[in-house]
Amino acid sequence: MNNGQSPAQNSARSRGEAEGLKTAASLLVRLRKEFGFGPEAPTETRQASPGLVLAMLDEATEAGLRGLSSISADKKVSLGRLLVQIRDVRRRLHAAPSSSGVVGAADFAGAVRRLRGAETVAGLSRSVCSEAAAMTGLGLVLLSEVHDSTWTIVETQFEKGSAPDVSALASTAIAPGSPEEEAVQKRAAVLVLPNPQLSTGNSTAFAAVPLFGAGGYVVAPITVSTGVIGLIHACRADERKPSVAERDLLDAFAGSFGTLFERALVSERLSEQKRLIVERLHEESREAEGLSNAEVAFGKPSGAGAASLSSVSLPTDCRAPGLEELTRREGEVFQLLAAGKSNTEIADELVISVFTVKSHVKKILRKLGAMNRSEAIYRYLEMTDSDASSRRTT
């Protein structure tokens, strides 16, 4: 693919890239030979793509950091210096576009792998523009959210010295017939060129957006299971036109970003639900601890037998032992419980949650010395009968 550079420029870039790959390989050999960490370096750097070497450098850095605590103190300084060198050569390779202009599977996988390492929604959003720019060679990249037929810029990436003013595009309507509308409707990237006769593939008329200059741009949709949630715009800093291959590459990259974004969003929501569940369990634990420490008055059942438990009314002036320990709300709950109401019916009656009803029932059983609801009603009948007999005697 013609990358728009002169043969001399391509030759210089090839030499610089080759030197960077050779340096990276030597650092990988040192890390493995001196410390036993990281992957084996490629034996032939001329046949290794920059993306593959970047992925190996990432793996080597992770392995070195994991093993830092397992080596002796005198070796930690040497390992630290080597990791800094690996970081520096990785940055040079990452920032330099490939002389071939072709991105291999390893390059693409390396970019996605680094995105996956972001883990959070915010981290992904911060990383996607720089990764897209480094992988495609398109120096100007915008990430935007799509809401109510409007795309709003949230992140940007520009080549050094080419930072145009994007304030006019902070929030832009998706106009009918625009490339953005086509990308959203077709869920596919659109190549926008100034002259349709010079383009191939799904190119369309150039949109009047001053930011992207005369060379045209690519717009790719970010798609999740619910639809298109964002767009990635990308173009060159100069007037060279983006290619169909770069359109397809950005389209695949945006699709991978959408998958990772949705996964991170679900993970964050699950973490929040887990946090709420743990808080609720702690709350129940404190409630149970309070119940275990509550005072309990155990009744002594008589052999008279139990009266009907199907419907019992609690008089408001009852002073039977045990019932005096009930709070006003517990008395209301017990009155409905004695009438044969279920927890759900009691909750509806008193306009409280079922969880609160269960808590009140536990406290009532404790205070009455009962094992279950039926025994609680029996103890109430026993206590009220004893209270009535006492009144007749006096």
Determine the Cα–Cα distance for residues 4 and 237; give it in Å rounded to an integer. 13
CATH placement of domain 117-293: 3.30.450.40
167, 169, 292, 350, 377 from 287: Cα distances, Å: 55, 55, 9, 21, 23
For residue 31, the model assigns a pLDDT of 92
Under a CB-based contact definition with an 8 Å cutoff, are residues 193 and 219 in contact? no
Domain ranges across the chain: 1-102, 117-293, 323-393
Determine the Cα–Cα distance for residues 292 and 311; give it in Å rounded to an integer. 30
For residue 172, the model assigns a pLDDT of 79
Determine the Cα–Cα distance for residues 383 and 149; give it in Å rounded to an integer. 71
Determine the Cα–Cα distance for residues 143 and 348; give it in Å rounded to an integer. 49
For residue 163, the model assigns a pLDDT of 54
Mean pLDDT (10-residue bins), the chain, 394 residues: 48 70 90 89 68 79 88 90 91 65 64 80 85 81 87 78 56 85 92 61 44 78 91 82 82 90 87 85 74 53 42 49 77 85 88 86 85 80 62 54
For residue 78, the model assigns a pLDDT of 92
What residues are paired with 151 via a beta bridge? 146, 172
Classify residue 101 by burial, with Cβ atoms within 10 Å: 0-12, 13-18, 19+.
middle
CATH class of 323-393: mainly alpha
For residue 226, the model assigns a pLDDT of 87
For residue 98, the model assigns a pLDDT of 53
117-293 and 323-393 share one fold: no
A 10 A CB-CB count for 290 gives 13
The first and second tokens of residue 98, run together, are: 């490939």
Is-above-0.85 flag for pTM?
Answer: no
